[in-house]
Amino acid sequence: MGAYLIRRILYMIPIVLGVVMLTFALFFIVNSPADMARASLGQKATPESIARWVSAHDYDHPTWFNTQSKGLAKLTDTLLWKKCARLLIFDLGRSDSTEREIAAEIRHRMLPSLTMAVPTFVLGMLVNITLALIFALCRGTYFDRVGAVVCVLMMSISSLFYIIAGQFIFAGWLRLFPISGFDWGPGMLKYVFLPVIIGLISGIGAGIRYNRTLMLEEINTDYVRTARAKGLGEGRILFLHVLKNAMIPILTGAMTVIPTLFMGSLIMESFFAIPGMGSMTMNAIVAQDFAVIRSMTFIGSILFMIGLLLTDISYTLVDPRITLGNAESEREAVRPSIRDIGKFFLLFLVITVAGCGLVLGARALTAMETRFPIMDNLLLALTLLGLFVFFVRARRHEMWRNAWRQIRGKRLAMVALCVLSLFAVIAVLDSARWCDVRKVSVTLEDGTPGTNTIFSEPLSALDRILAPIARNTERTYSAPLSDRLYTKVNVPKVVNGKTIFVREHEPLVHPRSHLLGTDKMGKDVLYITLKSVRTALVVGGLTTLIAIPFAILFGCLAGFFGGWIDDVIQYVYSTLSSIPWILLVACLMMVFGTGLMQVCIAMGITGWVGLCRTLRGETLKIREREYVQAALSLGTSKFEIIRTHIVPNVMHLVLISVVLRFSRLVLAEAVLSYIGVGVGAGTYSWGMMINMARSELGKDPKVWWTLASSFAAMLMLVLSANLFGDALRDALDPRLRVRGGQN
């Protein structure tokens, strides 16, 4: 046991080093202290104030090596030492924004986070497992089928919704609990109760579904059949035979939650004003406090490792086959030849260059995008072409045809597909953009009359269709289908020849034309909601496009070759996945800045890890299949084997993952935009709508329709993606497990 712990801790060292180096590279090499100063000081930054900020926060050192110092100080008077290496001895330094000692602050904030997170975790496990057992017990009944749909519904709802609605109903309306705050004494119970309940409910859908899948898998095993043949009752079979076996994967899912236990839930804590580590992180993101973020990333990854360690130890409690520090038999590694490595390197280069080219091209084209938005249309055309090629190829294959037949038989899945297509059509309409050209007669410099060509702002097809409602703006809020403004405004009135201002509900310019009301600026909410569709689909689609090639390439390489290639790839993804997801994305977004493209890239870079792991595992299995052995003995090159034997046989996993990941990305975008590291102002998105509408709920009377319509639209999209994804998974690979969700 002791030796095992030491080995595991030794194993953590390279990963923690990797995490620290990653944040260092992001903040000090990609970014510079001056960039941080600018981010922190905002618009009013001058070169002097930047220099002052940098030296005040102890960033005025060379990055790697200080030639001006003497002796050892050459190494220690550097950013590398002061801001990176010192993390490793838990010297977290001071916050950039509040100047407080970070370590002390974390110690102080640990307790509130734990009082909220531990009950949520423990109760959540109990409730999820119990309900999953009940569902497994009455599997196949009406109750179970309805339950399954309810679970999908619950996991399709944004966590923001649970929080806002919970707070509104229980605290605002029923006044059962205080809205927010914290008490250090025994009074904390009343503050913690509501967040715990909400946390429980928001995790319940995914939790039950995950556990239920695991249990159903156990129910179909041979030893359960043996138990039945012995004449055992269903209760004993479930509680002893099934539950004990299912606990192994359930524990895997549960222990990875450990970091969030300590770090608290970012959003939950900030909503309920609980002074925990989550709200500390949240504040740091808002204040662009890089020091705190760096420390949090470091601590998060260490907590993740501890979670893994606890998982391993808890395995030994339920699974007698596992002893700590299991010996493993060597696999026969396939040795790649120089030519193979060259080919893969080339492929990798092509992908990266193409990716970078796309991004750079996008930036360059956005700059000159005034006349014709090439980028949008190009992306659109490429996506449509890709889909077309896929469908043409898939039509020829029995597996896809068979899957399609199965999906076509399911009513719910077909409805979901229709809804998805509707959203896709909206997004396509919104992506095809062009400018209007107008010729105006002008007088040229020499006085002669001539014409000048004027290009309008590029407008999408959707803009043109929705032009009537887009143009119909009001002064400010108005309720759906109302004929007056929702709030009182100063209206000029001519009384006795004098103009005076009276506060009243002014009649609308376009009465009863706003189906979903208008927002603060008087814009039509339906228009904003529809415009946000494209953002959601781009986030879901483009992110996937970025992540998938890497996942396939690395996953197949690691699984096929094994050996050092596998070690390197595993190290990279262990490092990336040891950082809590939301922190990693937040780090990237703080460096990249906000924007649609940036969100896609940040989530794409972090998003290939999970799929890569799945594909590696699958490739390991396929590699041992006899057709691969046959290909090897025929002398087919390894590159060719991966191309023709491995990749086509993992494509169904890729497709399932794309659809199920899509829904998570849409939800994640809302959360990111909400905490201010998303698409940024100026881009329509449901996250931004929620962000802007958040203050409106506090007002009296409450402006509810912006929130409601964004949540409803998001739910429609995510729910149909989830339902369709489920049907697709059942059709293509009924045995694939759904792992617990991100964040």
**Which positions lie near another protein, rule CB under 8 A?**
7, 10-11, 140, 220-234, 236, 240-241, 244-245, 248, 318-321, 325-330, 332, 335, 337, 397-399, 409, 625-627, 629-637, 640, 644-645, 648-649
Minimal distance, residue 178 CB to another protein, in Å:
46
What gap in Å lies between CA 273 and CA 255, rounded to an integer?
26
Nearer of residues 222 and 446 to another protein, judged by Cβ? 222
Chain center to CA of 433 = 28
Nearer of residues 165 and 399 to another protein, judged by Cβ? 399
* Element (DSSP H or E) covering residue 543: helix 525-561
What gap in Å lies between CA 316 and CA 327, rounded to an integer?
15
Minimal distance, residue 147 CB to another protein, in Å:
18
Minimal distance, residue 129 CB to another protein, in Å:
16
Minimal distance, residue 409 CB to another protein, in Å:
7
Q: Which residues, 6 or more positions from 143, have their beta carbon under 8 angstroms from its beta carbon?
A: 135
Q: Which two tokens stand for residue 441?
A: 């007669």
Nearer of residues 55 and 644 to another protein, judged by Cβ? 644
Minimal distance, residue 302 CB to another protein, in Å:
18
Nearer of residues 186 and 320 to another protein, judged by Cβ? 320
Nearer of residues 236 and 395 to another protein, judged by Cβ? 236
Q: 102 near 93, Cβ under 8 Å?
A: yes
Q: Which two tokens stand for residue 642?
A: 């991966």
| HSE of 229, CA atoms in CB hemisphere, 13 A | 6
* DSSP at 332: -
Give the Cβ contact number of residue 101 at 10 Å: 14
Q: Which two tokens stand for residue 13?
A: 């060292």
Minimal distance, residue 211 CB to another protein, in Å:
17
Minimal distance, residue 140 CB to another protein, in Å:
7
What gap in Å lies between CA 11 and CA 545, rounded to an integer?
33
| DSSP labels, 213-267 | HHHHHHHTSHHHHHHHHTT--HHHIIIIIIHHHHHHHHHHHHHTTHHHHHH--HH
Nearer of residues 315 and 724 to another protein, judged by Cβ? 315
Nearer of residues 327 and 367 to another protein, judged by Cβ? 327
User: Which spans in 432-506 are helix H?
Assistant: 461-465, 467-471
Minimal distance, residue 644 CB to another protein, in Å:
7
Minimal distance, residue 632 CB to another protein, in Å:
6
Minimal distance, residue 622 CB to another protein, in Å:
9
Nearer of residues 112 and 336 to another protein, judged by Cβ? 336
Q: 78 near 65, Cβ under 8 Å?
A: yes
Minimal distance, residue 656 CB to another protein, in Å:
16
Minimal distance, residue 206 CB to another protein, in Å:
25
Minimal distance, residue 237 CB to another protein, in Å:
10
Q: 401 near 426, Cβ under 8 Å?
A: no
Nearer of residues 9 and 364 to another protein, judged by Cβ? 9
Distances (CA, A) of 208 to 128, 202, 412, 666, 730: 5, 11, 20, 22, 18
Nearer of residues 181 and 325 to another protein, judged by Cβ? 325
Chain center to CA of 53 = 33
Nearer of residues 190 and 335 to another protein, judged by Cβ? 335
Q: 473 near 518, Cβ under 8 Å?
A: yes
Minimal distance, residue 397 CB to another protein, in Å:
7
Nearer of residues 47 and 320 to another protein, judged by Cβ? 320
Q: 102 near 94, Cβ under 8 Å?
A: yes
Minimal distance, residue 336 CB to another protein, in Å:
10
Q: 460 near 433, Cβ under 8 Å?
A: yes
Bridge partners of residue 507, in order along the sequence: 484
What gap in Å lies between CA 263 and CA 270, rounded to an integer?
12
Angle in degrees, 0-180, between the axes of helices 102-137 and 277-286, rounded to the nearest 10: 120
Nearer of residues 153 and 232 to another protein, judged by Cβ? 232
User: CB burial class (10 A; 0-12, 13-18, 19+) of residue 115?
Assistant: buried
Nearer of residues 75 and 318 to another protein, judged by Cβ? 318
Nearest CA-CA partner of 589 in 488, 729, 687? 687
In the three-class reduction of DSSP (H, G, I as helix; E, B as strand; rest coil), residue 499 is classed as: strand
Nearer of residues 512 and 625 to another protein, judged by Cβ? 625
Minimal distance, residue 146 CB to another protein, in Å:
19
In the three-class reduction of DSSP (H, G, I as helix; E, B as strand; rest coil), residue 681 is classed as: coil
Q: 409 near 419, Cβ under 8 Å?
A: no
Nearest CA-CA partner of 674 in 96, 282, 289? 282
* Element (DSSP H or E) covering residue 431: helix 411-431
Minimal distance, residue 393 CB to another protein, in Å:
11
Nearer of residues 230 and 498 to another protein, judged by Cβ? 230
Angle in degrees, 0-180, between the axes of helices 290-318 and 2-24, rounded to the nearest 10: 150
Chain center to CA of 342 = 34
Nearer of residues 46 and 220 to another protein, judged by Cβ? 220
Reduced 3-state DSSP string for 627-670:
HHHHHHHHCCCHHHHHHHHHHHHHHHHHHHHHHHHHHHHHHHHH
What gap in Å lies between CA 197 and CA 208, rounded to an integer?
16
| HSE of 408, CA atoms in CB hemisphere, 13 A | 6
Nearer of residues 209 and 638 to another protein, judged by Cβ? 638
Torsion of CA 413, 416, 421, 426, to 10 degrees: -170
Peptide bond into 275 cis (omega under 30): no
Minimal distance, residue 297 CB to another protein, in Å:
25
